[in-house]
Amino acid sequence: MRRYELSDFEWGIIAPHLPAKVRAVARVDHRKVLNGILWRFRTGSP
C-alpha cells in the first residue's frame, strides 16, 4: 500500500456508502478512483 492509498480498514468504512446498482455499462473500480482523488489532495498536484 502506498502512502496516499486507502487502507483496507478505511476502505471497509467507505465502501458500503458507494452506489452498487448494476448498470448496463461496467463501472470503474471505486477504490481506484478514490485513491486518485486522494493522491491529488494529499500531494498538492495541480
Predicted confidence (pLDDT) per residue in 2-37, tens digit: 777 899 999 999 999 988 777 777 778 889 989 998
Q: What is the pLDDT of residue 11?
A: 92
Q: Does the global pTM surpass 0.85?
A: no
Phi, psi of 27 (to 5 degrees): -85, 155
Query: In Å, how far from its chain's centre is CA 11?
Result: 8
Which of 11, 6, 9 is closest to 36 using CA atoms?
6
Query: 37 by DSSP, 3-state: which?
Result: helix
pLDDT band at 1 (very low <50, low <70, confident <90, very high): low
Our CA angle for 9, 39, 1, nearest 5°, is 45
